[in-house]
């Protein structure tokens, strides 16, 4: 399916509603505006396979532009609005974009871009300023009829760069019809129970792979998307009650912040409409997921996958309750846990996670990184470490690049973080390795307190004692520091390299 079908059958149904302003765009409006956008792109000389870049906050124009590119056979590269001008320039140049579209709300970085990419066609939504042209004005000057050479385009997205420079994933265009089905569209129905009547809430930035793809899959179904401009836990509960939201996609950080709300606020809102709450992006601490299932019911679904699309694991609430901590079984590709030599290990043996017989990985303009993601058997990996049980359920330990080697012992931060974040006085936590003369590295926990005024020796001692009481000696942090706000991507991923680099003298992160 495709939004144009719903524009014909349900023209007045809301395709999406902006949570903050209440602005509603119907399927008829989405169809007309995406057609006008496709006409504009063709008038600029863009042909099938060309690239446009979007550097925008969540905006009602986001989907209109993405669907315009999709029906024109273009790649649309969505860039984090939190990046610096030079970081944005790197992605724009790397993806070889010909058009750059930004929004008036992203701030001063947008004003720096013309000096860096002034050879591109520059547009701004929501109020243009020179040298940007108004995207809306240019689009609205075009007819709302379909272009003659429609063919399915695709997103071309970049990793969030949590461990290094972002890497582009450019799937090959298939020449398919614009309403051709894809695996995610089928999964939304078969695994997660989404329907044409679904009301879906999106609390994350649309420039990230999961929110963008899931929202557009809901549009293919004909449902309504509630777009939060910015996540706030109580606001989201109010929106669920207001719109009778029945499905959504989340990350563990969302769950943690919801559970940190006072009980009287959590219980104030009716969330009984939720039938399918999907989460991913990072392993969810077991106590957090237990509490979410107790609160929302057995409606929590989890998957493990990446922007690269090389495999997919899934687990529902019933299986999770009997396999706590698992991220599921493979439903796309076959799971393999491998040792350093790339050979498969048996059940409950820890190693790097690979997918066999899944879609290939191909990082744009980075053959070395592409080669690193394959082992000698041709299996692909995202760089995560974990183990499988005898039934084929996968349990993630952490990312290989985050591993701490202390005195020859491999220590994975995720387990330590999962414990500390459950403490009532902790809002967020990152565990990294810092240099140590005797052991090579030592375990350091960096805490974002629930109350910054509490940061000090008393809280430090309390949290260190809590860790020592619940972790083995080698895993317990030797140092515990405080940070007012951890550098976390709005999608929930942590820029851990920025914290780690502070201890190795490479950054000036404000850690006390």
* Domain end call among 401, 435, 456: 401
Indicate the helix (H) or strand (E) that contains 428: strand 426-436
Strand pairing category for 276-279 and 300-304: parallel
Domain of 344: which CATH number?
2.30.38.10
Q: Which of 35, 23, 22, 119 is nearest to 69 (CA)?
A: 35
Full-model pTM: 0.84
- What residues are paired with 352 via a beta bridge? 338, 385
| Structural domain includes residue 7 | no
Q: 269 and 156, same structural domain? A: no
Domain membership of residue 391 (yes or no) is yes
Q: Are residues 433 and 290 in the same domain?
A: no
Q: Is the pLDDT of residue 72 over 60?
A: yes
pLDDT at 202: 97
| Residues 38 and 126 both lie in one domain | yes
How does 439-465 read in b/e, with b if 16+ C-beta sit within 10 Å? bebbbbbbbbbeeeeebeeebbeebbe
Structure tokens at 273: 């409409």
Residue 139 falls inside a structural domain: yes
Q: Please state whether 251 falls in left (phi above 0), alpha (psi between -120 and 50) or beta.
A: beta
Tell whether 11 is covered by a domain.
no
Contact 211, 204 (CB under 8 A): yes
Evaluate whether residue 294 is within a structural domain: yes
DSSP characters over 46-70 = --TT-EEEEE--S-THHHHHHHHHH
251 and 369 share one domain: no
pLDDT 10s digits, 187-211 = 888 889 999 999 999 999 999 888 9
State whether 142 and 192 are in the same domain: no
- Give residue-wise pLDDT tens across range 207-254: 988 899 999 999 999 999 999 999 999 999 999 999 999 999 998 889
Q: How many CA atoms lie within 13 A of 305 on its CB side?
A: 26
Is residue 81 domain-shared with residue 144, that is, in the same domain?
A: yes
Whether residue 157 is found in the same domain as residue 194 = no
Asked if residue 417 and residue 358 are part of one domain, the reply reads no
Same domain, 257 and 303: yes
Identify the CATH number of the domain in which residue 466 sits.
Answer: 3.30.300.30
At 457, list the tokens: 């020796």
453 lies in some domain: yes
Tokens of 36: 């006008």
- Maximum Cα–Cα distance for the chain, whole Å? 70
State whether 26 and 161 are in the same domain. Answer: yes
pLDDT at 228: 97
Q: 392 with 421, same domain?
A: no
CATH code (residue 214)? 3.40.50.980
Look up the CATH number of the domain holding residue 149.
3.40.50.12780
Q: How many domains does the chain have?
A: 4
**Count of residues in the chain:** 512
On whether both 126 and 97 belong to a single domain, the answer is yes
Q: How far apart are CA 73 and CA 353, in angstroms?
A: 34
Helix runs in 336-473, H state only: 367-372, 413-420, 457-470
Residue 36, domain member (yes or no): yes
**Which residues span the domain enclosing 445?**
403-503
Q: Is residue 318 part of a domain?
A: no
Q: Which two tokens stand for residue 475?
A: 């895993």
What are the C-alpha distances in Å from 166 to residues 163, 169, 352?
Answer: 9, 10, 21
Write out pLDDT tens, residues 5-52.
Answer: 999 999 999 999 999 999 999 999 999 999 999 999 999 999 999 999
For 451-483, write each residue's pLDDT tens digit. 999 999 999 999 999 999 998 888 899 999 999
């Amino acid at each position: 399916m495709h939004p144009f079908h719903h524009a014909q059958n349900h023209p007045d149904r809301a395709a999406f509603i902006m949570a903050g302003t209440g602005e509603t765009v119907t399927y008829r409006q989405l169809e007309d505006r995406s057609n006008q956008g496709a006409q504009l792109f063709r008038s600029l000389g863009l042909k099938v396979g060309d690239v446009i870049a979007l550097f925008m906050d969540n905006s009602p124009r986001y989907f209109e532009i993405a669907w315009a590119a999709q029906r024109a056979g273009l790649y649309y590269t969505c860039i984090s609005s939190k990046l610096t001008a030079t970081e944005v320039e790197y992605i724009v140049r790397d993806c070889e974009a010909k058009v750059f579209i930004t929004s008036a709300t992203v701030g001063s970085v947008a004003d720096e871009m013309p000096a860096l990419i002034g050879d591109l066609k520059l547009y701004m939504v929501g109020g243009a300023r020179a040298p940007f042209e108004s995207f809306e004005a240019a689009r609205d000057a075009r007819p709302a009829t379909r272009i003659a050479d429609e063919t399915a385009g695709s997103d071309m997205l970049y990793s969030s760069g949590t461990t290094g420079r972002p890497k582009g994933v450019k799937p090959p265009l298939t020449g398919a019809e614009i309403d051709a089905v894809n695996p995610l569209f089928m999964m939304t129905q078969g695994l997660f129970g989404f329907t044409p009547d679904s009301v879906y809430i999106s609390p994350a930035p649309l420039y990230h792979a999961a929110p963008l793809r899931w929202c557009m899959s809901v549009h293919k179904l004909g449902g309504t998307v509630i777009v939060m401009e910015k996540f706030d836990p109580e606001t989201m509960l109010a929106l669920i009650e207001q719109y009778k939201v029945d499905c959504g996609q989340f990350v563990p950080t969302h769950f943690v912040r919801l559970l940190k709300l006072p009980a009287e606020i959590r219980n104030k809102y009716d969330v009984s409409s939720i039938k399918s709450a999907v989460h991913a992006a990072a392993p969810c601490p077991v106590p957090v997921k237990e509490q979410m299932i107790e609160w929302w019911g057995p409606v929590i679904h989890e998957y493990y996958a990446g922007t690269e699309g090389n495999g997919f694991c899934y687990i529902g609430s019933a299986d999770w309750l009997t396999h706590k901590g698992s991220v599921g079984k493979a439903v796309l590709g076959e799971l393999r846990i491998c040792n350093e030599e790339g050979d498969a290990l048996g059940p409950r043996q820890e190693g790097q996670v690979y997918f066999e017989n899944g879609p290939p990985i191909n990082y744009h303009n980075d053959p070395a990184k592409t080669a690193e993601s394959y082992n000698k058997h041709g299996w692909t990996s995202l760089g995560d470490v974990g183990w499988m049980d005898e039934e084929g359920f996968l349990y993630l330990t952490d990312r290989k690049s985050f591993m701490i080697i202390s005195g020859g012992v491999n220590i994975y931060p995720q387990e330590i973080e999962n414990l500390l974040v459950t403490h009532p006085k902790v809002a967020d936590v990152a565990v990294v390795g810092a240099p140590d003369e005797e052991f090579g590295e030592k375990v350091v926990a960096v805490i974002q307190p629930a109350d910054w005024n509490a940061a000090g020796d008393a809280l430090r001692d309390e949290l260190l004692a809590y860790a020592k009481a619940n972790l083995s000696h080698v895993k317990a942090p030797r140092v515990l520091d405080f940070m007012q706000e951890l550098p976390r991507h709005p999608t929930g991923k942590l820029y851990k390299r920025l914290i780690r680099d502070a201890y190795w003298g490479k950054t000036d992160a404000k850690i006390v």
